[in-house]
Amino acid sequence: MAFEPDIPPIQVHLCVKRGQEAIAWYEKAFGAVETFEQIAEDGERVLHANLSMFGSEVMLHDEFPEFSPDVFSPETRGGAGLTISINLRSPIDVDRAVRRAASAGAEITMPVADQFWGARYGKIRDPFGHVWAFNAPLAKAG
């Protein structure tokens, strides 16, 4: 199977409630840049949006139970079904990302700390129920 060179083989496509609010939050908390948005015919829900963040792209849409009865937001489901892992370059980047998200209203679910597997790591839950983990390798001793 051939892929377009600029399209990654795996992408996150987030389902949220309050899509416009979510886009604004990701811009504030993660420095996301919206590169595309299409509003549904109802004039309210986000049918599709692309957000550039952390050197990659995340897609986003509001819930559409009338068209896609198998995809719901964490708020409807009662919690997230996965963790979105962001691999950063340095340990200080992890601290900054978690601090910025928390100041924008995220809940820290695992405080940033050096972990036994050799990484600086922390987790947050965003206001839309998605769980994000931030990870960077620790400097090697020696």
Helices of type H across 4-142: 19-30, 74-77, 91-103
The pLDDT assigned to 73 comes to: 97
The DSSP symbol for 142 reads -
Asked if residue 66 has pLDDT above 70, the reply is yes
Q: Report the predicted TM-score, pTM, of the whole model to 2 decimal places.
A: 0.91
pLDDT (tens digit, 9 = 90+) per residue, 33-56? 999 999 999 999 999 999 999 999
Burial-class residue 142 by CB neighbours within 10 Å (0-12, 13-18, 19+): exposed
pLDDT (tens digit, 9 = 90+) per residue, 92-111? 999 999 999 999 999 999 99
Which domains are seen in the chain, by residue range? Answer: 12-137 (3.10.180.10)
User: Quick one: tokens of 99?
Assistant: 């601090």
99 three-class SS: helix
Type of residue at 111:
P
pLDDT (tens digit, 9 = 90+) per residue, 9-19? 778 999 999 99
**Residue in the block written with tokens 């708020």:** 75
Between 8 and 117, name the one with better pLDDT: 117
What's the whole-number average pLDDT of the chain? 93
